[in-house]
Amino acid sequence: MRAHSLITPPALVAALLLAGCTGMAGSSSRSAGGTGTLQVRLTDAPIDLSTVQSVNVTLTGVTVFPEETTNPMGTLMESGPISLMAFPATFDLLTLTGGATVLLATGEVPAGTYSRIHLDISSATLVNTDGSTTPLKIDSNKVDVPIRFEVTAGTTDTITLDFNAAASVQVNETGNDQFILRPVVTPVP
């Protein structure tokens, strides 16, 4: 397994990740160069909510986008997005601290350069230490993580994304102290 260093923008980007896999969706001009396997993994920095036992997030989609390319005549060659998610999956982000990771999605994709990962989030809840649950209002259920990475033909390449639960779970100061999920996800170098 080979991990790649990632070029990331300076701003933190929001998102959560998924599990499962499907075959390739769409076609790509990169298919002539063979295929490689892409794994997208998730980790989390510790949360600072002493009364919280779990932060459960349900993801319904992980999609990767090939980088746009031009042919020798200068014409833009369109490559469609590739879905890596087969079914919804729920993850407890607090089990992913201290270097622990979980596989969100995997699949065979055309070799080449990719420019972003898109995540779909359907729900999120806090489980308190007393056993009660608190639903999280999701600020945005569609998150794009701009990340440039390469998939090499004949290899398995791994991308790990850090979902920062501590930065993502916020209390609504102007409302009724409602908890809001504003996903903060960054690539792990």
Least confident of 11-15, 21-25, 161-165: 11-15
pLDDT in tens, 111-163: 999 999 999 999 999 898 899 998 888 888 888 899 999 999 999 999 999 98
Answer yes or no: is pLDDT of 2 > 60. no
Domain extents in the chain? 2-187
Look-up of token digits 């608190």 = 134
pLDDT of residue 119: 92
pLDDT of residue 70: 67
pLDDT of residue 73: 73
Answer yes or no: is pLDDT of 49 > 70. no
CA distance 63 to 115: 11
pLDDT of residue 80: 87
Average pLDDT, the chain: 77
Q: Work out the pLDDT band at 33, boundaries 50, 70, 90.
A: confident
Q: Work out the pLDDT band at 14, boundaries 50, 70, 90.
A: very low
Answer yes or no: is pLDDT of 56 > 50. yes
* pTM of structure: 0.70
SS (H, E, C) the chain: CEECCCECCCCCECCCCCCCCCCCCCCCHHHHHCEEEEEEEEECCCCCCCCEEEEEEEEEEEEEEECCEECCCCCEECCCCEECCCCCEEEEHHHHCCCCCEEEEEEEEECEEEEEEEEEEEEEEEEECCCCEEECEECCCEEEEEEEEEECCCCEEEEEEEECHHHHEEECCCCCCCEEECCCEEECC
> Closest Cα to residue 43, out of 81, 94, 105?
94
pLDDT of residue 12: 26
Q: Which residue has the higher pLDDT, 70 or 170?
A: 170
Answer yes or no: is pLDDT of 107 > 90. yes
